[in-house]
């Protein structure tokens, strides 16, 4: 009995939901004044940038990942500000720590919706920078995905090989990024603490993408899921109003891997007809065809 009790206690301590938050509290529009962006580091080579809800109610998250040979910026924000200064500041910090002058930058997107690409023009004339297009054929060509959406491919930053996982469903060109070094899964708008919008005409694609990524994770362990927004409060199952101007008592950004499995199970249970489905960390939200 003692051994069983000890095992249970250790298991509870190891539960991600009970772990210390990965990040300091994010800017949530609750202060009279706050910066337009907030940057935090997951590790020396991984930056997370949050756009203030005061600049755009979407308040998206951007991810900047460095390898030896190049860096990847995932998404460019929702507009209402200049996002490049925050990105350049992070790059300059990384370069300064390594006594380097430059590194090529690739700008990609979790998907092509407007709140993830408004900063693209700021990077088009940036030296040594490639901005990937927004359509599924452009994304497939840039990452050399011959069999979209079934093929998962490597994208090598130089000593840091990412996996690019096509995940159409929320939007036709949606991708996720898996980083084996950190075991982070960057899930864009497919999974985050908030309302997961699923167009009725793409529900089949959404389900197939979840099956694809869950199958992948069976042999590629995920430590944390990091999405592109926070729309949930700290109360399980309770979200903010649409276009809320501030986020008091905001949910953590990071989600446990169990939420990916819960989402897959939820949409499988729906059969062919998506329905609104409230979970502690997310809400499946069908929307008209797009």
What's the average model confidence in pLDDT over 195-215? 98
- What is the set of domains in the chain, with CATH numbers? 33-287 (3.60.15.10)
Would you list the DSSP string of the chain?
A: -HHHHHHHHHHHHT-GGGSPPSSSPPP-S-SSS--SEEEEEEETTEEEEEE-TTT-TT--EEEEEE-SS-EEEE----SSS--HHHHHHHHHHHHHHTT-S---EEEE-S--SGGGTTTHHHHTTSTTEEE--SSHHHHHHHHT-SSTTT--EEEE-SS-EEEEEE-TTSSTT-EEEEETTTTEEEEETTSSSSEEEEEGGGHHHHHHHHHHHHHHHTSS--SEEEES---BBSSTT-BPPTT-S--TTBPPSEE-HHHHHHHHHHHHHTTTS---EE-SS-EEEEE---
pLDDT at 42: 98
pLDDT value at 6 more than 90: no
pLDDT value at 256 more than 80: yes
Q: In terms of pLDDT, which residue wins out, 45 or 11?
A: 45
pLDDT confidence tier of residue 145, bands split at 50, 70 and 90: very high
User: pTM, whole model, 2 decimals?
Assistant: 0.93
pLDDT at 18: 54
Q: In terms of pLDDT, which residue wins out, 20 or 233?
A: 233
What's the average model confidence in pLDDT over 165-178? 98
pLDDT value at 29 more than 80: yes
pLDDT confidence tier of residue 1, bands split at 50, 70 and 90: very low
pLDDT value at 2 more than 80: no
Burial of 127 (0-12, 13-18, 19+ CB in 10 A): exposed
Summary mean pLDDT of the chain = 94
What's the average model confidence in pLDDT over 252-276? 97
């Amino acid at each position: 009995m003692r051994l069983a009790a000890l095992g249970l206690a250790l298991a509870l301590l190891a539960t991600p939901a009970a772990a210390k938050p990965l990040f300091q509290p994010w800017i949530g529009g609750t202060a009279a004044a706050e910066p337009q962006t907030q940057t935090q580091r997951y590790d020396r080579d991984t930056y997370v940038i949050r756009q203030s809800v005061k600049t755009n109610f979407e308040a998206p998250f951007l991810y900047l990942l460095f390898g030896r040979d190049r860096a990847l910026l995932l998404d460019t924000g929702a507009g209402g500000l200049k996002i490049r200064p925050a990105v350049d500041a992070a790059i300059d910090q990384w370069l300064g720590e390594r006594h380097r002058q430059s590194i090529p930058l690739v700008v990609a997107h979790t998907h092509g919706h407007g709140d993830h690409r408004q900063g693209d023009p700021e990077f088009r004339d940036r030296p040594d920078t490639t901005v990937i297009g927004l359509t599924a054929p452009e994304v497939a060509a840039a990452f050399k995905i011959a069999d979209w959406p079934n093929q998962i491919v490597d994208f090598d930053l130089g000593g840091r090989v990412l996996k690019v996982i096509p995940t159409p469903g929320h939007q036709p060109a949606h991708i996720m990024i898996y980083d084996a070094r950190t075991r982070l899964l960057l899930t864009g708008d497919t999974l985050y603490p908030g309302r997961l919008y699923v167009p009725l005409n793409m529900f089949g694609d959404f389900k197939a993408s979840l099956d694809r990524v869950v199958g992948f994770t069976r042999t590629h362990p995920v430590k944390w899921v990091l999405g592109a927004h926070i729309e949930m409060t700290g109360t399980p199952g309770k979200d903010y109003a649409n276009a809320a101007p501030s986020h008091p008592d905001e949910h953590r950004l990071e989600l446990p891997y169990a939420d990916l499995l819960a989402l897959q199970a939820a949409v499988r249970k729906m059969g062919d007809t998506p329905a609104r489905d409230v979970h502690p960390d997310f809400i499946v939200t069908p929307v008209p065809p797009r």
